Chains A and B, each alone.
Chain A
Amino acid sequence: MTPQARPGGAVVTFEHVTKRYGPPGVPPAVDDLSLAIPAGEICVLVGPSGCGKTTTMRMINRLAEPTAGRITIDGQDVRDLSAVELRRGIGYVIQQVGLFPHLTVGENVAIVPRLLRWPEPRIRERVEELLELVGLEPGAYRARYPASLSGGERQRVGVARALAADPPVMLMDEPFGAVDPILRDRLQNELLRLQAKVGKTIVFVTHDVDEAIKMADRVAILRRGGVLAQFDTPEAILSAPASEFVEHFVGADRGLKRLSLAKVRDLQLIQPLIVRVGEPRVEVRRRMEVDGTGYALLVDAADRPLGWVDSAELAADGTLTEEEATPGAPPLQPETTLRDALSTLLGSSVQLGVVTDERDRVLGLLSVDAISEVLRPDATAPRS
C-alpha cells in the first residue's frame, strides 16, 4: 500500500476546478477543487450521494467541461486534445458496464483499438491477451454476446475493454456497485491484482467507505457541493480524520475499519489437514487421529476446497466422495481485507476460513482468533 510511482500511469491534476450546472448563485457541483493524483496510484473519490464524485471524474475525460479551472494529465491540459482523441486515450468503466449488445465480447474489447485504426492482427492479439488478463478464457468467451454473460463476466469484459489501448489513466465510476458482496470482494481483489501488473493511474468513484479504504492508495473525501474534505492515504484518514465531517463519514467503528487496511495475506495461515476425494476412509481416519483436530479439509483433484469432513461422521470403510463434505464459509483470498474476512467468518458456522489463490487452490486457513489478535491494543501491526 505504500505509494510508489509505477511506470504505467500518468499524473492527473486538478487546479482550482469548479463546475456549475445551474446559474451563478446555485451551489456548484464541484467547488474550487485542487488535487494531484500521483502516477500509477488508485485514487478513490468517496463521499455521500450527490457530492460531485461522478462530475469530478467526468471532467477528466471531458464528458463534463469545467466552468473554471484546469485539469492536466502528465502536465498537458486536457483541452489541448479534441474530446474524442482525449477519450480514446483514457479507460472508462461504469457501473452498468454499457457493453455494446450487438458486438461479441471480442469485438467489444476491440472497440478502442479499432477507433485508433490498429492493424487487425495486433487487435486480435491484444484481445486475446486482455481476456486472459481479466480471467476469461478467450476461446470460450471471445465469440459470445453480452446477453449471455453473468454480471461478473460483464464487469470483467468492461475492464478489459477499458484497458484495450493501454491508456495511462482509467476512470471507474462505482464499477462494482451493482454486484452482490461476495462477487464484489472477488472483483475488487482481481482489480488489485491486475493493477499490480499494469500500474495505471486509476480514478475510482464509490460511495462505500470500506471499498475506498480497501482499494485506495489515496482517498479523496468529498462533501456536498464538491468540496474536498480530506485527501490522504487510507491509514492517515482513519488515524487522523481532518474534520468532524470526515470522522462522521468514516464512521464510529474506525477501529474496526482499520482491519480494512490489512489483508488476509498479511497474516500467518494455518496449514489444514487436507484429504482428497477417492482417498480410503481408513487412511483418512488414521491421519485425522495423528493430526488430532478431528476434522479435515476435503479438496478435489485440482486442489479446490469442497468442504469439511468430521471424523465423528466418517463412515467405516470405502473411499471419500464429494458429497460428504460440509461446506464452510465462502473462500477468502489473499487480497480480502481482514474486516471482510471477519464478517464472512462470523457469519458461518465453522469459524475458520479457507484461503484460496486466483485458481481457487487452497493456500491455508485463517481463524477468527488470528484476526482478533490484530485488534488487541498492544498487538504489533501485521507485517506486510
Chain B
Amino acid sequence: MNDQPFFRIDWVIDNLDEIGGRVGEHLVMTGIAIGVGLVISFGLALLIRRVRPLYGPTIAITGALYSIPSLALFALLIPITGLSLLTAEIALVSYTLLILVRNIVAALDGVPAEVLDAADGMGFGSVERLWRVELPIALPVIVAGVRIATVTTIGLVTVTSLIGLGGLGYLIVNTGINRFFATSIYTGVALSVALAVLADVGLESLQRRLTPWARARSG
C-alpha cells in the first residue's frame, strides 16, 4: 500500500465492467428489499387498520428485528438459508419493516375523517375507497417512508459483502479492505453514497409529481 498513488484511475477504467456490475447488483438488492418490504408492510398495515390492538405488537416485533445487528442475523440465517441472496434479502427486508409499517399506518390514519365520511356517504365500496381515496391521499407520507427505507437499505446492502454479496460493498470489503487496495474502497464508498443521494432526490421529485394537489394554490 506504500508506493501506491492515492487513487488509481487506471484501475477504475480497467474495471468498469466489474464496477458497473456491482452497481447493478446493489440496485437490484435494494429494489427487491424495498419491493418485498412494501408488500409485507402494506399487508400488515391493512391488518392493523382492521384489528387495532395488533399495532403495538407489530411495532415491537419489527422494532426488535430492526435492532438485531446484521452480523448476528446472518449467523442465525446461514445454517438455514446458506450464503445466499435469500439470506441477504431476509435481513434487508427485516430492516425495512419498522419504517414502512409505521409510515403506512400513519399515512392512512392521516386521511381526514370528514373525507372518509363523505366517501362513505357518496357510496364508495371499501375497496374503492381504499384505492381511490385513502391511498392517493396517503401517498406523500408513504413515499416519504419509502425514501427513508431506501436510503437506509442502500447503506445496509454493503454489509452483505460479509456473505460474499454486497454490491458496492464487495468493492469496499473484498477487493478493498481484504487486499489493502484503497482505490477500490474509495470507489465503493463514493458510488454507494451517490446512489443513496440519487435515490433520495429521485423519490422526492416522484413524491412531488404524484401530489400536485398538495402544493397547488390554484390551477
A interface list, Cβ under 8 A from B: 61, 63, 83-90, 92, 94, 96-104, 111-112, 115, 143-148, 161, 171
Does A92 contact B122, Cβ atoms closer than 8 Å? yes
Given contacts A143-B219, A147-B213, contact A98 B112 (CB under 8 A): yes
User: In the assembly, what is the distance between CA of A279 and CA of B120, in Å?
Assistant: 57
Q: Which of B117, B123, B125, B213 contacts A101 (CB 8 A)?
A: B213
Given contacts A143-B219, A145-B213, A147-B217, contact A98 B137 (CB under 8 A): no
Complex contacts, B136 vs chain A, CB 8 Å: 102
Given contacts A145-B213, A148-B218, contact A98 B123 (CB under 8 A): no
Does A94 contact B115, Cβ atoms closer than 8 Å? no
User: In the assembly, what is the distance between CA of A147 and CA of B112, in Å?
Assistant: 14
Query: Considering residues B114, B212, B219, which has the most beta carbons from chain A within 10 angstroms of its beta carbon?
Result: B219
Q: Which of B118, B124, B133 contacts A94 (CB 8 A)?
A: B118
Q: How many residues of B contact A (CB 8 A)?
A: 25
Given contacts A84-B124, A115-B123, contact A148 B118 (CB under 8 A): no
User: In the assembly, what is the distance between CA of A237 and CA of B146, in Å?
Assistant: 60
Question: Interface digits, B150-177 against A, CB 8 Å rule (1 contact, 0 not)?
Answer: 0000000000000000000000000000
Complex contacts, A86 vs chain B, CB 8 Å: 123
Question: Interface digits, B53-97 against A, CB 8 Å rule (1 contact, 0 not)?
Answer: 000000000000000000000000000000000000000000000
Does A87 contact B121, Cβ atoms closer than 8 Å? yes
Interface status of B211 (Cβ within 8 A of chain A): yes
Does A98 contact B213, Cβ atoms closer than 8 Å? no
Rounded to whole Å, the gap between the CB of A359 and the closest CB of chain B is 24
User: In the assembly, what is the distance between CA of A99 and CA of B133, in Å?
Assistant: 11
Given contacts A101-B213, A147-B217, contact A111 B137 (CB under 8 A): no
User: In the assembly, what is the distance between CA of A148 and CA of B212, in Å?
Assistant: 12
Interface status of B216 (Cβ within 8 A of chain A): yes
Does B219 contact A100, Cβ atoms closer than 8 Å? no
Does B117 contact A98, Cβ atoms closer than 8 Å? yes
Query: Considering residues A94, A99, A101, A148, which has the most beta carbons from chain B within 10 angstroms of its beta carbon?
Result: A101
Does B122 contact A112, Cβ atoms closer than 8 Å? yes
Does B216 contact A87, Cβ atoms closer than 8 Å? no
Rounded to whole Å, the gap between the CB of B47 and the closest CB of chain A is 23
User: In the assembly, what is the distance between CA of A100 and CA of B129, in Å?
Assistant: 11
In the complex, besides A94-B117, A104-B219, A145-B219, 13 extra interface pairs with C-beta distance below 8 angstroms are A61-B121, A63-B117, A87-B120, A87-B123, A88-B122, A96-B114, A98-B114, A100-B115, A100-B118, A101-B112, A101-B115, A145-B216, A145-B218
Given contacts A98-B114, A102-B211, A147-B213, contact A111 B122 (CB under 8 A): yes
Rounded to whole Å, the gap between the CB of A78 and the closest CB of chain B is 13
A-B contact pairs, 7 of them (CB 8 A): A63-B117, A63-B121, A84-B123, A94-B117, A94-B118, A101-B214, A145-B212
Question: Interface digits, B191-219 against A, CB 8 Å rule (1 contact, 0 not)?
Answer: 00000000000000000000111101111
Does B213 contact A102, Cβ atoms closer than 8 Å? yes
Residue ID in chain A nearest B215 by CB atoms:
A147
Give 10 closest A-B pairs by Cβ, nearest first.
A98-B118, A92-B121, A143-B219, A88-B123, A87-B123, A96-B114, A98-B114, A145-B213, A144-B219, A148-B218
Rounded to whole Å, the gap between the CB of A110 and the closest CB of chain B is 11
User: In the assembly, what is the distance between CA of A143 and CA of B120, in Å?
Assistant: 24
Complex contacts, A143 vs chain B, CB 8 Å: 219
Complex contacts, A115 vs chain B, CB 8 Å: 122-124, 128
Q: Which of B116, B118, B125, B214 contacts A97 (CB 8 A)?
A: B118
User: In the assembly, what is the distance between CA of A90 and CA of B118, in Å?
Assistant: 12
Given contacts A102-B137, A143-B219, A147-B217, contact A112 B115 (CB under 8 A): no
Does B114 contact A94, Cβ atoms closer than 8 Å? yes
Given contacts A143-B219, A147-B213, A147-B216, contact A99 B118 (CB under 8 A): yes
User: In the assembly, what is the distance between CA of A99 and CA of B116, in Å?
Assistant: 10
Rounded to whole Å, the gap between the CB of A141 and the closest CB of chain B is 9
Complex contacts, A63 vs chain B, CB 8 Å: 117, 120-121
User: In the assembly, what is the distance between CA of A102 and CA of B212, in Å?
Assistant: 8
Rounded to whole Å, the gap between the CB of B92 and the closest CB of chain A is 32
Residue ID in chain B nearest A85 by CB atoms:
B123
Complex contacts, A144 vs chain B, CB 8 Å: 216, 218-219
User: In the assembly, what is the distance between CA of A143 and CA of B218, in Å?
Assistant: 8
Query: Considering residues B112, B114, B121, which has the most beta carbons from chain A within 10 angstroms of its beta carbon?
Result: B121
Residue ID in chain B nearest A161 by CB atoms:
B122
Residue ID in chain B nearest A108 by CB atoms:
B118
Complex contacts, A103 vs chain B, CB 8 Å: 213
Complex contacts, B114 vs chain A, CB 8 Å: 94, 96-98
